[in-house]
Structure 1
């Protein structure tokens, strides 16, 4: 049982099995050590849910891999942007606003180490 700040007992909904915690820590450490030599290398990453990402390993910490990815803005997809103008003019929000088809390579995607299935060099 856990105790709240008011001193009352609240029921524990989930508690990880200590063997599972030890195994996950080993997997995390192994993955971290395997990927550390490949910082700044281009990779393809597949997550447990099947998503594929391509980019460059920009960094790692104990919980995440940071993948530098290239993003292409596309007004044909996603949410409606009320500020979109195909050319600078009245109502244009200013510098730094991406045009459709603009490539932005300054995007860092944090990926949770526990959710990574495969990492392949490109």
Structure 2
């Protein structure tokens, strides 16, 4: 919760250029309209930082593209799947088989995307 003290003058340390803000809104809208027809299609996404991700477009909102990717033990990085449970070391540990679906959702900020290509 933030508090507001009206007796002190706020010091602005950064304010975005209105032209940049308008341009970013246009980029977001353009990406949203471009990607929407490709929901559930496999794509390769490159971010402005040079990271590459392969997966399926699971959804979009006004700020993010949600990419379903497969997390392996070699590429777990920051991915999180609350339903992933590795098989236990010995038999009989779980009363039911552990799920084998290692798909996770990776949210990507729309204005950080450099390229999206179908695969």
TM-score w.r.t. length of structure 1 = 0.75
Per-residue deviation, 1:12: 0.3
Q: Deviations over 1:8-65 (max 9, x none)?
A: 1121011111111111101110010000000000000000000000000000000000
Corresponding residue of 2:4:
5
Within 1, Cα distance between the matches of 2:95 and 2:12? 51
Task: Give 5+ residue unaligned stretches, structure 2.
Answer: 78-85
Q: Is the 8 A contact 1:63 1:113 kept in 2?
A: yes
Task: Give 5+ residue unaligned stretches, structure 1.
Answer: 79-83
The reply to whether residue 52 of structure 1 matches residue 62 of structure 2 is no
Corresponding residue of 2:116:
119
Within 2, Cα distance between the matches of 1:41 and 1:108? 14
3-state SS of paired residue (2:71):
strand
3-state SS of paired residue (1:108):
strand
Rate the CA distance shift 1:51–1:9 in 2: closer, same or farther, 3 A.
same
More strand by share: 1
Rate the CA distance shift 1:97–1:38 in 2: closer, same or farther, 3 A.
same
Per-residue deviation, 1:88: 2.9
Map of 1:36-115 to 2, 5 A cutoff?
36-74=36-74, 87-88=89-90, 104-105=102-103, 107-115=104-112
Q: Deviations over 1:77-105 (max 9, x none)?
A: 87xxxxx997137xx7997878xxx7612
Corresponding residue of 2:81:
none
Moved over 4 A (4+): 92-98
TM-score w.r.t. length of structure 2 = 0.76
Q: Is the 8 A contact 2:66 2:105 kept in 1?
A: yes
The RMSD of aligned alpha carbons is 2.6
